[in-house]
Amino acid sequence: MDKYFVDLENIDIAKYIKIAQHIKKLIDDNLIEDGEKLPSIRNLSKLLKVNNVTIVSAYKKLESEGYAIQKVGSGTYAKRKEIAVNLKKRYGEVVRKISSEEMKKYIDFSGEAACSDVFPISSFKDVINKVLDRDGMEALAYQEALGYEGLRKSIDEFFWDNKIGKDNILIVSGAQQGIDIASKALINVNDNVVVEKPTYGGALTVFKWRRSNIYEIELEKDGMDLNKLEKLAKKNKIRCVYIMSYFQNPTGISYSIEKKRRLLNMAEIYDFYIIEDDYLSELIYNNNEYVSFKSIDYNDRVIYIKSFSKIFLPGIRLGYMICPKIFKESIQNSKVNTDIATSSLMQRALDLYIKEGMWKEYINVLNKVYKDRYMFMKEYLFQLKEYIEFYSPGGGLHFYIKLKGTKVNCMNLFYRCKREGVLITPGIIFYKNPEEGLNYFRMGFSQVGEEEIKKGIDIIKHILEKD
């Protein structure tokens, strides 16, 4: 029992969190073995001189983070996460070793960015030349902290009907930077952050860096399970909720208008903020009306983040943020401290591209091309119906697939597919506890045409049939 002792004096965080952190370290350091029974609630509370509720909360936190399993009538048992963490690490190492030249040899279902073959590069070159002729060296100079004023005006006019105001828009280098900037301005150590389950791995990484307490709430067909979120909010002070409003990564799920309104109302009642990552709302194939959380945010509770990289050109690395007035100054300071300024030339080029109507034409082309691919992949995935289940999102750039009726997990499938010249994205990267994603994988269609989709799915089918 001595190894469980932890000094609870002179600390700034809740005692149950300190206890959970201590036990997690014991598990990670192999001082508590995988499957070892943890002390009873009564014995540990007596040792640490705290009440039983504190130990119950500590054990619940361990369980929520994948470090413990509760067995009814038996007690709580330690669970090591090394296997799952190593899976995630190995996947990352494999992907990083694939060069851009080697990538051309694969049927790439792992890509998320817009297909470069569709992008009108000659038109964009003309736009860049016009900007250089018009602005000269000024086009290459640093801009004010908020970003190029012309682009902020265009965003406000073309995307928000002049309802936001250019001074409330901050230009950033893509959604990942936006999430990082928002978290620095909003989240302190041990703040409670809620994410969808599963969710974008890059957001999980940012929130872990901030040393926040991350709670996952399962997704339903029309968004996060708000009943579970409300139960959590009644017992815990939530700082923010991170959501992807349209065609969520990885599930493809979009929020219903009813859930949008209820979540916004809950944010006001329970005093938390919503980080809205507007992922792929331009690519709606089922004619549903587009309504962002921010557009109905009457209580100023939403930090809105939009990237142009996924639908424009990933190398451009441009996006923007709109934040509540209470965080405006701290978010701007966070941006300046991060990288001073985003590419002036690309901001001016995008501004002109939007103003001259090219953006709207390009999005119309993308919708036509991707809708055709979406429908083709959706139909052809039924070739695998004996081995998989999948949800039809009605837009976006990917399908999230659950394995069934096979002993193959997503990592086995990833390695075997790679050997056959096919890349998929294993589900482990979308969960705080990677093991929970072993039966899932994501397949995107932005980088592949119909022939490649057919060939790639045939290869996957052959692999699953051999199991």
DSSP string for 304-342: EEEESTTTS-GGG--EEEE--GGGHHHHHHHHHHHHS--
Quick one: pLDDT at residue 86? 63
DSSP state of 258: H
Q: What is the dihedral of CA 314, 320, 321, 325, to 10 degrees?
A: 170
Query: 260: burial class by Cβ within 10 Å (0-12, 13-18, 19+)?
Result: buried
Q: What is the dihedral of CA 261, 265, 270, 276, to 10 degrees?
A: 40
36 Rama class: left (phi>0) / alpha (psi -120 to 50) / beta: beta
Is residue 311 within 8 Å of 363, Cβ to Cβ? Answer: yes
Q: How many other C-beta atoms lie within 10 A of the C-beta of residue 164?
A: 19
pLDDT in tens, the chain (467 residues): 666 667 666 555 678 888 988 888 888 766 887 788 999 988 888 888 889 889 998 988 888 877 888 887 788 888 866 555 566 666 777 777 777 777 778 999 998 777 777 777 888 889 999 999 998 888 787 667 788 999 999 999 999 999 999 999 999 988 999 999 999 999 999 999 999 999 999 999 999 999 899 999 999 999 999 999 999 999 999 999 999 999 999 999 999 999 999 999 999 999 999 999 998 899 999 878 899 999 999 999 999 999 988 777 666 789 999 989 898 888 888 887 777 667 788 899 999 999 999 999 999 999 999 999 999 999 999 999 999 999 999 999 999 999 998 888 999 999 999 999 999 999 999 998 888 899 999 999 998 999 999 999 999 999 998 86
- Between CA 391 and CA 292 the distance in angstroms is 22
- Between CA 147 and CA 252 the distance in angstroms is 31
Give Rg (Cα) of the chain. Answer: 24
Going by C-alpha positions, the residue among 117, 150, 114 that lies closest to residue 350 is 150
Quick one: pLDDT at residue 337? 75
The residue with tokens 């504190």 is 54
0.85 exceeded by pTM? no
Helix, strand, coil shares of the chain as percentages rounded to 5?
A: 50, 15, 35
All domains of the chain, ordered by start, with CATH? 2-80 (1.10.10.10), 84-110+361-466 (3.90.1150.10), 136-356 (3.40.640.10)
Return the structure tokens found at 403: 């394995």
In three-state form (DSSP H/G/I as H, E/B as E, the rest C), the secondary structure along 385-425 is: CCCEEECCCCECCEEEEEECCCCCCHHHHHHHHHHCCEECE
Quick one: pLDDT at residue 10? 54
238 contact partners, CB below 8 Å, separation of at least 6: 192, 193, 194, 215, 232, 270, 272
Is residue 383 within 8 Å of 166, Cβ to Cβ? Answer: no
The residue with tokens 């837009």 is 395
Q: What is the dihedral of CA 205, 202, 307, 163, to 10 degrees?
A: -50
Quick one: pLDDT at residue 231? 95
The H-or-E segment that residue 197 falls in is: strand 192-197
- Between CA 263 and CA 287 the distance in angstroms is 24
Quick one: pLDDT at residue 433? 84
Please name the amino acid found at residue 361.
E
Quick one: pLDDT at residue 141? 76
Quick one: pLDDT at residue 25? 80
Is residue 78 within 8 Å of 68, Cβ to Cβ? Answer: yes
- Between CA 204 and CA 54 the distance in angstroms is 26
Q: How many other C-beta atoms lie within 10 A of the C-beta of residue 102?
A: 9
Quick one: pLDDT at residue 136? 87
Going by C-alpha positions, the residue among 393, 408, 395 that lies closest to residue 441 is 408
